[in-house]
Amino acid sequence: MNIYRSMLLGVLCIGISACASTSQNTAAENKLASSCEKGIEIAYKELDFAKTTGFGGSWEYTKAASLLGTAKVQSGFGAYAGCIDKVSTARAYIEESKK
């Protein structure tokens, strides 16, 4: 009986340690996450402005909206580098839609 308790205790300790170590973000990850979220916020404002000024039906606008949706999903999964890349590309498309 003591062997089973010892094994159970060991498994629980390993599980708790694994969970604790994955919940801590590094400063670099926090910076990427912040940059991603700010970029999404700014890009959506630019996208809304483009729509109100009559550029909402352009092909570039549609690509930008799709990229921002993808960036938001990547942000949710912690893929911040991909998120930042998508936001940058989306903002370029938004600029193109205004020309």
CATH number, position 73? 1.20.120
H helix runs in 1-99, sequence order: 2-22, 27-50, 59-76, 80-97
pLDDT top residue among 2 and 31: 31
Look at the chain and report how many structural domains it folds into.
1
Tally Cβ neighbours within 10 Å of residue 67.
Answer: 22
At residue 54, the pLDDT reads 78
Residue 93 pLDDT > 80: yes
Average pLDDT, the chain: 80
Query: Is pTM beyond 0.85 here?
Result: no
Considering the domain boundaries, does residue 78 fall inside one?
Answer: yes
Q: Measured in whole angstroms, how far is the alpha carbon of residue 94 from the centre of its chain?
A: 19
* Amino acid 19: pLDDT: 47
Range of the domain at 82: 26-97
Biggest alpha carbon–alpha carbon distance for the chain? 76
User: Considering the domain boundaries, does residue 3 fall inside one?
Assistant: no
Confidence of residue 39 (pLDDT cuts 50, 70, 90): very high
In a domain, 84, yes or no: yes
